[in-house]
Structure 1
């Protein structure tokens, strides 16, 4: 897709337990090796800025009204875009973010049931650029995994946050919303079969063709 900025924006997405965090650091190193003249910025959502990290702690651990949750997610995203993402892209850097707006549609929309219309309004408000386009990743790598498999993987790792404690039905809805977004934006999304071994997934990521 054509970029309104000289940088390149990549997001990693997927339900908790899909394995995206296993590969994101190595992927960033790969990008740095391929494009030694480009700085690679790795960041995450919610988070990415001092305020965003404070909001992350609240969002992942504090029960709250669904609309409050969505508004705080987009408030953190506004700071993230203003303070980190846009300056880096305007400077020609490669930005790799662990989650972006697709996660809000998947978790607050698909999983928690907030209307897509409200999420569309928030997306337009926060991400609309002066030329009328929306700031979106050039490439979104979606780690797709059935909810049951992800649940089994999550049970073997760290203490869960409030989202990771949600039931299987929640994560199946999250997954389906991710797939809906991918179906609507096939040129932006690259879907990874996250049921494969980490080695096979990494081999696939290394062969991904990215045109900066």
Structure 2
């Protein structure tokens, strides 16, 4: 696929503050007066949202790790076909809450399926599409889980019920990806107050918008 848009993904462990940061980024994109789309994974469209309800249902504790990885990939494939790829073709800036990196760290690393095995599944599901920029909100698992416990309005999903050791493996996986792909992945300290994180995210976007997005949209 030849993309004329700009694909940004937001990643982070549970309780990193992605939802809050995305709201602030949405405001920034509106100010830029460029066409944009904010979406999420798994979900974003009817079929993928139905798959999401199966994956994250706390009652589905018997779900096999391979089943989980395949369901995420299936939802991702449909989401790309219906939403992300058409938006990029139209020259839009697409901001997606989670993408392939989440599968690599949650199923590949924390579930023990192997990063390369999960990467292979997702290469097929995505046709090799990769983000132009990934913002990784790095939070200590203890901090993230304490935020979840303190947020009475947040829906508790199946992944929230995993052990602290599981969430530590998730973080280790993210940091490994960031070390491998420093040009794509920007690591932001999300242990700080979210206001500070938002300011750093906006600064990264301003820097990248001036260079990468301008170049990409002019091609």
1:15 counterpart residue number: 13
Structure 1 segments, 4+ long, off by >4 Å, are none
Offset at 1:87?
0.5
1:128-176 CA distance string (max 9 Å, x none): 2xxxxx2111110000011111111111122411101111100000001
Determine helix, strand or coil for the equivalent of 1:160. Answer: coil
2:51 counterpart residue number: 55
Offset at 1:12?
0.6
1:170 aligns with 2:166: yes
2:217 counterpart residue number: none
1:17-76 CA distance string (max 9 Å, x none): 011111102102202212x1x211010000011000000000001231111111010000
- Does the aligned pair in 1 maintain the 2:105–2:115 contact within 8 Å? no
1:194 aligns with 2:166: no
1:124 counterpart residue number: 123
1:131 counterpart residue number: none
Change (3 A) 1:116 1:205: closer
2:157 counterpart residue number: 161
Find the partner of 1:146 among 140, 149, 157: 140
1:115 counterpart residue number: 114
1:43 counterpart residue number: 39
- Say how many residue pairs are matched: 203
2:71 counterpart residue number: 72
Instruction: Report the more deviating stretch, 79-88 or 110-119.
Output: 110-119
Offset at 1:4?
4.2
TM-score (norm 1): 0.92
1:96 counterpart residue number: 95
- The whole-number CA distance in structure 1 between the counterparts of 2:134 and 2:155 is 27
Determine helix, strand or coil for the equivalent of 2:160. Answer: coil
Quote the RMSD (CA, aligned, Å).
1.3
Unaligned runs of 5+ in 2: 214-219
1:103-134 CA distance string (max 9 Å, x none): 00111112211122311211221222xxxxx2
- The whole-number CA distance in structure 2 between the counterparts of 1:150 and 1:137 is 25
Determine helix, strand or coil for the equivalent of 2:191. Answer: coil
- The whole-number CA distance in structure 1 between the counterparts of 2:36 and 2:29 is 7
Unaligned runs of 5+ in 1: 129-133
Determine helix, strand or coil for the equivalent of 1:92. Answer: coil
